[in-house]
Structure 1
Amino acid sequence: MAHPLETRLTAKQIAPTAMRLLVLELLQRQTAAVSLADVEQQMEHADRITLHRTLKTFADKGLVHRIEDGSGAVKYALCEDACTPRQHHDLHVHFHCQRCQQTICLPDVAIPPIQVPAAFQVQDMGVVLKGLCDRCSAR
Structure 2
Amino acid sequence: MIKELEIKLKQKGIRPTAMRLLVLEALSGQEAAVSLSDLEEVFEKSDRVTLYRTLKTFQENGLVHSIDDGTGAPKYALCEEGCECNIEQDLHVHFHCRMCRETFCLPKYKIPDIDLPGEFIPEEANLVVKGVCGKCSA
Structure 2 length as normaliser, TM-score? Answer: 0.93
| CA distance, structure 1, for counterparts of residue 82 and residue 119 of structure 2 | 28
What is the Cα deviation at residue 90 of structure 1? 2.9
Query: Could you tell me the percent identity over the aligned residues?
Result: 56
- Report what 1:102 is aligned to: 102
| CA distance, structure 2, for counterparts of residue 118 and residue 53 of structure 1 | 35
Pairing 1:33-44 to 2, within 5 Å after superposition: 33-44=33-44
| CA distance, structure 2, for counterparts of residue 79 and residue 94 of structure 1 | 13
| CA distance, structure 1, for counterparts of residue 86 and residue 124 of structure 2 | 9
Indicate if the aligned counterparts of 1:79 and 1:90 stay in contact, CA closer than 8 A.
no
Amino acid aligned to 1:87: N
What is the Cα deviation at residue 10 of structure 1? 0.2
- Report what 1:76 is aligned to: 76
Unaligned runs of 5+ in 2: none
Pairing 1:1-139 to 2, within 5 Å after superposition: 3-84=3-84, 87=86, 89-138=89-138
| Worse-superposed segment, 28-37 or 113-122 | 113-122
| CA distance, structure 1, for counterparts of residue 121 and residue 15 of structure 2 | 33
Unaligned runs of 5+ in 1: none
Amino acid aligned to 1:63: L
| Secondary structure of the corresponding residue to residue 117 of structure 1 | coil
Indicate if the aligned counterparts of 1:35 and 1:75 stay in contact, CA closer than 8 A.
yes
Moved over 6 A (4+): none
Structure 1 length as normaliser, TM-score? Answer: 0.93
